[in-house]
Structure 1
Amino acid sequence: MAALEGKAAVVTGGSRGIGRAIVERLARDGADVVFSFAQNADAAAEVERAVKEAGGNARAIRAELADPGAAERLMDAAGGHLGGLDLLVNNAAPGFAPTSIADTDEELYDRVMAVNAKSAFLTVRYAARHMRDNGRIVNISTLNTVRPARGIAPYVASKGAIEQLTAVAALELGARGITVNTVSPGATDTDLLRGTNSEEALRTVAGITPLGRLGQPADVADVVAFLAGPDGRWLTGQNIRATGGIA
C-alpha cells in the first residue's frame, strides 16, 4: 500500500513550482489531493492532467488567498470534496518584485501578509477544528528567515509568522497525534526564482551551496512527503531546512 493511501490532502498554491511538485508527490503516494491556485487556470489544469495520467487524484480550486474569506471558503470546499482532512500543506505565496523597506507600500505589505501569514493561520485553524486525529500539517517557509536578503522584508516577516504558528500549533494539536512542522527551502529552481534573480546571482548561490547546485522542487516535495507519511510521526514543531546545506 502507498504511504498515503486513503488520505485526504489540501495544498495551497499547488499549480506551479514547489507547490506543483508537492501535489504530484502526495498524489503519487496515494493521497487524494485538493490544491488551490490564484490566477493561472491553465497551469492548474495541467497539474490535474499530469496527476491523473500518473494514476493519482488531484482537483484544483481557484482561491485568491489575499481576499477576505477565501481561505475559509477553500477549506470548506476542499473538505466537502474530500470528505475529511488528514494532511494540510501551506505553500501559497504571492510573487512580488524585491522592494526596499523605504519603498514598500502598505498595499504590498498587506497582500503578502494576507496570503502568507493570515491564510496559513486560517487553514491551520480549520485543521485544528476538522482534521482527523494523527493528521499532518506542513507549513512552507524560507531560508531567508535565517539568511536575510535585501528587498524582501514583508516576505520574511510573513514567513517568520508561519514558523511561530507552527511552534504553537504543534503544542496545541499534539495530544491528538497531529504533527505540525515547517519546511524551509533554500534557493529552488522555479520560475519565480528565475524571474527575480539574474543568472549570475543564481550561479553564485549554487556555488556557495555545499551540494553545489540549486534545489529542485522535487527535493522539497520529498521532505514534505516524509513529514506527511508514517515515518514522520515522531517529528513535530520542527523547522526542516531543505537548503542543500547553505544554512
Structure 2
Amino acid sequence: MIRRRSHPAASLSARRTEAFTDGVFAIAATLLVLGLTDQSLGSPTTDEQLADALVGLAHPVFSFVISFLILCVMWMTHVRQFEWIVRIDDAGMWINNGRLLLIVLVPFTSSLDTTSNDLLLGRVLLPVNFFLAIVMGWLQWVWAVRSGAITDLSADDARRLGRASISAVILSGAAMALSPLIGSIGFLLFALDGPLTRLLRGGDAPISSPATTSRDDEASDGGVGGRG
C-alpha cells in the first residue's frame, strides 16, 4: 500500500538524502588510504631497511589518520542531525550537496598534505577544506531550524545544539589559521572539542524532547553539532 506524505509538497522525506550522504562519507573515508598506497617504500631487503622506510611514512600516516578521524566525527554529526531532520527542501539538499562536494575533495587535499607539505598551499588546503565542510554542516543545522524541518525538538534545545556546533567551527578555524606554520598538526586542537561543546551547549543538561525520550538521551550524550 502506498503511504501518503504528511509533509508539504515543497519538501521531501530526508531519508534518501541521509542514505546518499552516508554513502559519500564512506567512499571518501575509504579513498583516503590511496594516499598511503601511493607512497614508495623503495626496495628494502632487510627488516631494518623496511622499518626505516615505514618510519619515513610517519607524516603520511598521521595525515591519513587525522583526516579519517575528522571525517568520522563529521559523519557522526550528520547522523545526529538527521535524527531530528525529517524532511528536506531544495535549499536543504543544495546545502547538503555543497558539504558533500567538500567531503569528496578531502582525499585529494589530504594527498597534497602528504606529498607537498613543504609548500604553503600543500599545508593549508586540507585545513581549509575541512573548515569549509564543517561550516557547511553548521549551516545545514541553521537551515533545518529556520525551515521547520525538525520535529520532536524544542526551539530552546535546537538553539542550544546550534551553539554547540560552533565548537567545531572554532577549532577548525584555529587549525586553518595555524596551518601555514604547522600544517595538519593543528587538527590536534580537536582534542578540545568535547569540553568546548559542553561549554557552548550550556553544560550536560539533557536535551528535552516533547515526543521521543530515547532521542533525548542520545542528543544529550553528544549534541548534534558539537562534533563538527
Report the structure, 1 or 2, having the larger helix content.
Answer: 2
Considering Cα pairs closer than 8 Å and 6+ residues apart, tell me whether 1 or 2 has the greater RCO. Answer: 2
Question: Greater share of strand residues, 1 or 2?
Answer: 1
**What TM-score comes out, normalization by structure 1 length?**
0.30
Q: TM-score of the superposition, structure 2-length normalised?
A: 0.32
